[in-house]
Structures are given as structure tokens and as C-alpha cells.
Structure 1
Amino acid sequence: MVRRYEPLTVARLGALLADVDETRRWRLVAEFLEEYRWEPPERRALLLQQEPSATGDEHWDVFLAALTEHLAAKDGRGAPSWVETRSLRRFWFPFNTRAARVDAVVNAPAAFRRRGVFVSAQELNVA
């Protein structure tokens, strides 16, 4: 049986982020972003549509909402409605060094800042 390639969706990414360590999570995010970039713009919206299940870590649940909104905005589209229900009460700096915190405060994309997730755009490009 030959399996046809299917790009990773944000819902599938959320499922994969559950019960893995931080290093593996960032590798999965990088893989998702790479696959997303290769998809034609008209297909990208489908990769973001379905709401991911809870990962078991509120930070990552909110990160997925911010990432979804960020990617949709970069493509000139609105985000799916499910992203509106996710935000943090306390700021989260995934890369928590002094330099990374300063960079994230200055350069975090709006979709991340408004949800309390401080990650710089540079880190999303190389995640």
C-alpha cells in the first residue's frame, strides 16, 4: 500500500506535542513550519482550521493559537475562531535567557504578544 503525503496540520501538531520533552516539541514545530511553507497558499488555511486538542501544557496550547493566528495573518487571512479562546494569564518566555527575553519583548509577533507568549520572530524562522 502506498501512502500519499499529507502535510502536518496544527491539530495533528497539537496531538504530537502531548507527552514529549521541550526539545522534541521545538523539532515538531520546526517540521510543521517547514511543511506549511511548502504548501500552496490556498491550501494553508486548511492546515490551520481544526482546533488542536489540549497538549497537557497550557503554554503550548496557547502557543498553537498564537502560531495559527500569526501564520494566517502572514497569508493575509483571518485566523479560525478557535484561537480566540486561548491566552495566558502570566507571560511565558519559552527561551528564558536574558538576551532571548529582551529580543522576544521587542520582536515577538503581535499574535504571540497579545496572548502572553514572548518568542521572537527569528526563533519562529529557525525553530
Structure 2
Amino acid sequence: MGKHAASYEPLTVARLGALLTGADDSRRWRLVAEFLEEYRWEPREDRGTLLDGEPAYTGDEHWDVFLAALAEHLSAKDGRGAPSWVETRSLRRFWFPFNTSAARVDAVVHAPAAFRRRGVYVSAHELDVA
């Protein structure tokens, strides 16, 4: 038991990107929720290391940009600057991951700035339901 606890390493955004590659959307959202849960449990001063490594491209531009927005959003919430790799990622066309009329309205109103400025419209509460 103790040996396992010592080898635990929280999910990094780079590892999350690798896991998203080839996964279907429902699995992707479960992985994002898992990442957010692990991120919350890390001491604030250690969290930046989970975001620093740039994820390889997932094969889906929407998710590549989502990861950049997520890293910037979490950095801002912790009062840190975003990792430099996030600057190169943004969408030319808006993306609503939850594409119902109610979810679209909610996302337009409540999308965090890091997501909105990249064209990803997901409401803040969708990121808190981990």
C-alpha cells in the first residue's frame, strides 16, 4: 500500500493530451474530469508543473485548443502566468463542445476568458463537475 502511494504521479496536461488521442468524446470528458480532480488535490505551489509540458497534438484541433485554454484558465485561477506553449493554439471557428441550445447560451454567457478568446465555448461549471 505505502509503496503504491509513493509511486503516484498526478496526470499532467501533456499526458492528458496523449490519452485524448483517438478517444471518443465521452471518454475525453471523463479524462478531463479526472485531470481536474487530480489537479485540485495537488498543492497550489506544485500545480504549475502539471501544465508546463506542451501536449503533443491529439489529431483534433478542437481538443488541442481546449488543452491550451484549460492550461491558461487553471494558471490564471492560481494566480500564475500561463505556460508559453498555449499562445500558439486557437480556433478560426467557434466550437461548442456541448451543442444544445441551452448549453450554447450558457457557454456564451459563462465561458472563461481563456476559452472564449480561443473560440472554445464551454461554461465554467462544465469544468467544475469533475
TM-superposed deviation, 1:42: 0.9
- The correspondence for 2:121, drawn from 105, 118, 123, is 118
In 1, Cα distance between equivalents of 2:53 and 2:37: 19
Query: What code does the residue aligned with 1:38 have?
Result: W
RMSD: 0.7
Question: Which residue matches 1:74?
Answer: 77
In 1, Cα distance between equivalents of 2:24 and 2:106: 24
Question: Which residue matches 1:6?
Answer: 9
Q: Percent of aligned positions with the same letter in both sequences?
A: 82
Q: How many residues align?
A: 126
TM-superposed deviation, 1:12: 0.1
In 2, Cα distance between equivalents of 1:12 and 1:43: 16
In 1, Cα distance between equivalents of 2:74 and 2:111: 13
In 1, Cα distance between equivalents of 2:48 and 2:101: 35
- The correspondence for 1:17, drawn from 10, 20, 28, is 20
Extract unaligned runs of 5+ from structure 2: none
In 1, Cα distance between equivalents of 2:23 and 2:51: 22
- TM (norm. structure 2) is 0.95
- TM (norm. structure 1) is 0.98
The one-character-per-residue Cα deviations of 1:63-89 (angstroms, maximum 9, x if unpaired) are 000000000000000001100000000
Deviation beyond 3 Å, 4+ runs, structure 1: none
Matched ranges for 1:65-104 at <5 A: 65-104=68-107
Extract unaligned runs of 5+ from structure 1: none
Query: What code does the residue aligned with 1:51 have?
Result: E
**SS of match in other structure, 1:76:** coil
Query: What code does the residue aligned with 1:67 have?
Result: L
